[in-house]
Amino acid sequence: TSNLSTVSQSSSTNNRGEIFQGATSTSVSSNTANVDQSDLTSLSNDAVIEQLSNSNNAFIDQDGLSNGNDATIRQIGTLGQNRATINQKTGSNGNDAEVEQSGQSNVATVNQIGTSDENTASVTQSGNSNTATTNQNVRSEDNIVTVNQSGNNNTATISQNGTLFTD
């Protein structure tokens, strides 16, 4: 059984979008969850996706003057590939992004780009073949990235490119 869930909150401020999929007692897999808190302004929003099953896809977009937002994806599964993507783009300031994955072949991507200042990205992966990619680019400063991986065959790529500002 697979499910598709979508939450859209455009031109959003002070909203909370939550999606929970799966259960440990049933065979639910191949779920897709999307939380879209973007458009012209995305301020002080919370987005949470939790998937307790196998082979899932989770996407959170907080795009367009993305400031003071929190995004969290938790995926727990023992088979297949779970994919998590968080985008906080276009004037991305003071945002927190967190991905937690436990299972087999997990892939996590966090993008905080476009005048990206004072953002925090955290990826924690336990399991087998894990890949984590974080990008904090384009006039980027005072950002923090933490990647913790345990298990086998792990890969982490961190990109923090800034612009030298002069007075």
Q: What is the pLDDT of residues 134-149, one digit of tens each?
A: 998 877 778 899 999 9
What element of type H or E holds 164? none
Instruction: Specify the amino acid at residue 2.
Output: S
Beta strand 83-89 with 107-113 is parallel
Q: What's the confidence (pLDDT) of residue 155?
A: 95
For residue 124, name the pLDDT band (cuts at 50, 70, 90).
very high
For residue 62, what pLDDT is reported?
A: 86
Q: Give mean pLDDT, residues 120-132.
A: 93
Question: Which residues are within 8 A (CB) of 121 and not within 5 positions of it... i.e. 6 or more apart?
Answer: 86, 97, 98, 110, 112, 134, 136, 143, 144, 145, 146
pLDDT surpassing 90 at residue 18: yes
pLDDT score recorded for residue 162: 67
- In this predicted model, which residue has the larger pLDDT, 116 or 118? 118
**Which residues on adjacent β-strands are paired with residue 40?**
none
Q: Which helix H or strand E contains 150, and what residues bound it?
A: strand 144-151
Give yes or no for residue 150 having a pLDDT over 70. Answer: yes
Contact in structure between 83 and 68 (CB atoms under 8 Å): no
Task: Please determine, for residue 25, whether its predicted confidence score (pLDDT) is greater than 70.
Answer: no
CA-to-CA dists, residue 24 to 65, 77, 98, 134, angstroms: 38, 9, 22, 29
Q: How far apart are CA 4 and CA 39, in angstroms?
A: 22
| pLDDT tier, 91 (very low <50, low <70, confident <90, very high otherwise) | confident
150-161 mean pLDDT: 90
Q: Read off the pTM.
A: 0.91
Taken in order 29, 103, 159, 11, the sign of the CA dihedral is: positive
pLDDT digits over 47-88, tens only? 999 998 888 999 999 887 778 889 999 998 878 889 999 998
pLDDT score of 33 more than 90: yes
Judging by DSSP bridges, how do beta strands 83-89 and 66-67 pair with one another? unpaired
pLDDT band at 27 (very low <50, low <70, confident <90, very high): low
